[in-house]
């Protein structure tokens, strides 16, 4: 019996995690602009620290495009201090707003309506925007069909012998996109198999993994392809945060434990 391909492995992982945890309602945010701010702030820090900064911005009434545009830089730095590297991040948020104003007349609608590859290239050209930040903005704010690769993703594929953690970002991204897109195609081509939307409805109250309370962006209507990219990233975050820890992983309790090579735990 031949070993499963990389694509087959990832589909099996998605199905196992979704059965275990259901919908993740990721990314937790009220607006598209809040997603973008969060994507900047979450660089090199925990989501707990980001949440504190977002609440500070919201309480000050500036968690919106106009607010960030008009806020003095020292005030912005103070409000996002909890996110770390706050001076750097404040300047980068200001640069993003300037980019949006210059190229899209301050309209998120116009920006996010651009073709995926064009907008991705523009975002990657901004100071402080790497592939993970760009793809987070595209997927979670713009509903573009791109998969987000983070440190948890690298750790999981490495420990499961799928790809080394040092593999290029694009190689990992394309692998996930190809595998998950094939799963969506199979579901849509086989009426007897519940499609993603039906599966989500049946398991709609995600309570484990990285699941969040319902929010406007976390429960937004999406295409099946965008939804599966969204769910898989949220599920991976859940694995990384709770089980596939950098040190002392808790493999024995993880839904993916049985898929480890020789069912062994990382040393």
Give Cβ neighbours of residue 25 (< 8 Å, ≥ 6 apart).
Answer: 206, 211, 212, 213, 214, 215, 218, 219, 234
Q: What residues make up the domain containing 68?
A: 32-141
Q: Which ranges in the chain belong to alpha helices (H)?
A: 6-21, 32-41, 47-59, 65-70, 73-79, 86-104, 108-112, 116-124, 131-136, 151-159, 169-189, 196-202, 224-242
> Is 22 in the same domain as 36?
no
- Is residue 265 a part of any domain in this protein? no
Q: Assess if residue 48 is contained within a domain.
A: yes
Give the residue from 87, 111, 141 where a domain finishes.
Answer: 141
Alpha carbons 90 and 74: distance in angstroms, whole number: 9
**Interhelix angle for 6-21 vs 169-189, to 10°?**
70
Same domain membership, residue 166 and residue 118: no
pLDDT range class, residue 11, cuts 50, 70, 90: very high
Indicate whether 11 belongs to any domain.
yes
- Residue 221 pLDDT: 87
User: What integer is the mean pLDDT of 173-197?
Assistant: 78
**Which tens digit of pLDDT belongs to each residue from 133-143?**
999 999 999 99
Task: Give the pLDDT of residue 186.
Answer: 87
For residue 231, the domain's CATH number is: 1.10.1670
Among 235, 46, 230, 48, residue whose Cα is nearest residue 141 = 230
d(CA 48, CA 87) in angstroms, rounded, equals 19
CATH of the domain at 111: 1.10.340.30
- At residue 104 the predicted structure's pLDDT band, cuts being 50, 70 and 90, is very high
């Amino acid at each position: 019996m031949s070993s499963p391909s990389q694509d087959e492995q990832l589909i099996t992982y998605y199905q196992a995690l979704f059965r275990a945890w259901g919908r993740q309602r990721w990314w937790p945010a009220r607006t598209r602009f809040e997603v973008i701010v969060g994507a900047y702030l979450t660089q090199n820090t925990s989501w707990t620290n980001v949440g504190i900064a977002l609440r500070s911005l919201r309480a000050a009434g500036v968690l919106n495009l106009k607010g960030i545009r008009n806020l003095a830089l020292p005030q912005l730095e103070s409000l996002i201090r909890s996110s770390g590297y706050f001076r750097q991040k404040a300047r980068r948020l200001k640069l993003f707003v300037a980019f949006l104003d210059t190229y899209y007349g301050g309209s998120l609608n116009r920006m996010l309506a651009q073709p995926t590859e064009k907008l991705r290239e523009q975002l990657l050209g901004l100071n402080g925007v790497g592939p993970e930040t760009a793809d987070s903005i595209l997927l979670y704010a713009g509903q573009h069909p791109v998969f987000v690769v983070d440190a948890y993703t690298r750790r999981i594929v490495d420990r499961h012998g799928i790809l080394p953690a040092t593999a290029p970002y694009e190689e990992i991204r394309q692998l996930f996109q190809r595998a998950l897109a094939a799963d969506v195609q199979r579901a849509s081509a086989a009426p007897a198999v519940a499609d993603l939307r039906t599966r989500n409805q049946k398991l709609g109250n995600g309570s484990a993994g990285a699941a969040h309370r319902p929010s406007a962006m976390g429960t937004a209507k999406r295409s099946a392809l965008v939804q599966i990219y969204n769910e898989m990233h949220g599920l991976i975050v859940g694995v990384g945060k709770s089980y596939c820890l950098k040190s002392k992983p808790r493999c024995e309790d993880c839904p993916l434990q049985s898929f480890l090579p020789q069912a062994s735990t990382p040393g």
